Amino acid sequence: NAGVTQTPKFRILKIGQSMTLQCAQDMNHNYMYWYRQDPGMGLKLIYYSVGAGITDKGEVPNGYNVSRSTTEYFPLRLELAAPSQTSVYFCASSYGGSSGNTIYFGEGSWLTVV
């Protein structure tokens, strides 16, 4: 009963480095999301996908890229990491759009850019 699985759990990056946060879900959900959570700021939507091959920007997409080649996987790519990208990242999924359906979250990835 894995649900939404994210890796890595923790990562320290140097400014200018790149990395990919991995996300997988085994619930056959069509919608997947990436959020970032900054202290005292709640969750902000970075990118989302409504199905394999379809992605769209959320509220804070700059500095990130995503792809969705299959239903199960939705990796988030950070290019040229900046200190402003220090945050906790959550991958999530739902069956149907998030506004009317339960979203299931992964456990989070703590990223520090130094």
Partner 1 sequence: AQSVTQPDIHITVSEGASLELRCNYSYGATPYLFWYVQSPGQGLQLLLKYFSGDTLVQGIKGFEAEFKRSQSSFNLRKPSVHWSDAAEYFCAVGISSGSARQLTFGSGTQLTVLP
Tokens describing residue 49: 């996908």
Q: Shortest gap between Cβ of 77 and partner 1 (angstroms)?
A: 19
From residue 57, how far is each of 18, 33, 64 by CA, in Å? 20, 10, 10
Number of residues that bind partner 1 (CB under 8 A): 27
Q: With respect to partner 1, which residue has the nearer C-beta, 43 or 52?
A: 43
Complex with partner 1: residue 59 or 79, whichever CB lies closer: 59
Nearest-angstrom CA–CA distance, 112 and 58: 22
The Cα–Cα gap between 68 and 56 comes to 11
Q: Considering the rule CB under 8 A, would residue 27 count as an interface residue with partner 1?
A: no
Beta-bridge mates of residue 55:
49
Q: Enumerate binding residues for partner 1 (CB under 8 A).
A: 4, 31, 33, 40-45, 48, 50, 56, 58-59, 90, 92, 96-100, 102-103, 105-108
